[in-house]
Chain A
Amino acid sequence: MMSSALLAIQSTNPIALTPNELWVINTFFYVIAAVGIVAALKMVTTKNVVHAALYLLVVLTVVAATYIVLGAEFAAATQVMVYIGAVMVLLLFGVMLTRAKIGDDGDLDYDSKWIGGLSAVSMFAVMGYSLWEAFGTDELPADMAVQRTGQVANSIFSQYIVPFEALSMLLLAALIGAVVVARRD
């Protein structure tokens, strides 16, 4: 049985957005999406490893903002804390511990880039075609409710409790595994 407090958290009353508000949100999304795509392209083409990490930071921030646009507040907060806070620090550690060249490094890419380019472009062509065929101009519901953190917690600790516990074991195993692999003996 769910207590009344939990029910109160769950009863978000959706408010339909006015066309004006929708226009502002849409424009915001297109601007940040453009920034994110440019940063992602710079990330895979830059010759400086540290710059690549900083471009990845921009992309991760854009993704967090996209979660906010879609009304997923807890996912956005987790994205900022785990990715921007922890994973980025880990990646920068990796850059520094492997003594990456300071400044530009000419030897970061394979010589034959066309294989990767062809794979990426054809993959995007297939995905774009099937997405357009499947969803066309489908709209998200105009009275889209913000998905509250309380709802996420209820879902994790009822429906998804077994995967959640399995995930905690996985994290423990990965922690021990990383220490065992990387230690000097």
Chain B
Amino acid sequence: MFLNQFLFFAAILFSIGVYGVLTRKNGVLVLMSIELILNAVNINLVAFGALHQDISGQVFVLFVIAVAAAEVGVGLAIVLLIFRNRRSINVAEADLLKG
């Protein structure tokens, strides 16, 4: 098994996630694309853990998964708040900071 087959798979998923974050207007879909990016990073961590036969890769994956769970919880709370205030979760319309 090549190391690069896993790293390239992760890079492709990462790029697709970046595309999703940049093109989606819907707040929930942006959060989903961020999950895609985090998963791509996790594949890299596990692949390097397998390459060096080091357990730290897997431990870091667990940390990333826990942080991602916290992130999606807070992120959805914010999206729900935006929906309650503006009746829309279009992130392009949330432009209160624009002068």
Which of A's residues lie within 8 Å of B, judged by CB?
Answer: 22, 25-26, 29-30, 33, 36-37, 40-41, 43-44, 49, 52-53, 56, 59-60, 63, 66-67, 69-72, 74-75, 78-79, 82-83, 86-87, 90-91, 93-95, 97-100, 105, 107-110, 113, 115-117, 119-121, 123-124, 127-128, 131-132, 135-141, 144-145, 147, 151-152, 154-156, 159-160, 163-164, 167, 170-171, 173-175, 177-179, 181-182, 184
* Nearest residue, chain B, Cβ from A30: B5
Pairwise interchain contact A109-B53, C-beta atoms closer than 8 A: no
Pairwise interchain contact A128-B19, C-beta atoms closer than 8 A: no
Which of B's residues lie within 8 Å of A, judged by CB?
Answer: 1-9, 11-29, 31-33, 35-36, 39, 42-43, 46-47, 49-51, 53, 55-59, 61-63, 65-74, 76-81, 83-84, 89-90, 92
* A94→B29 CA distance, assembly (Å): 10
Pairwise interchain contact A91-B1, C-beta atoms closer than 8 A: no
Main SS of chain A's interface residues? helix
Pairwise interchain contact A182-B36, C-beta atoms closer than 8 A: no
B19: chain A residues within 8 A (beta carbon): 44, 116-117, 119-120
A-B contact pairs, 20 of them (CB 8 A): A29-B5, A37-B16, A43-B33, A59-B36, A72-B57, A78-B65, A91-B28, A100-B26, A108-B25, A116-B18, A119-B22, A121-B15, A123-B18, A138-B3, A159-B59, A171-B69, A173-B70, A175-B73, A177-B77, A184-B84
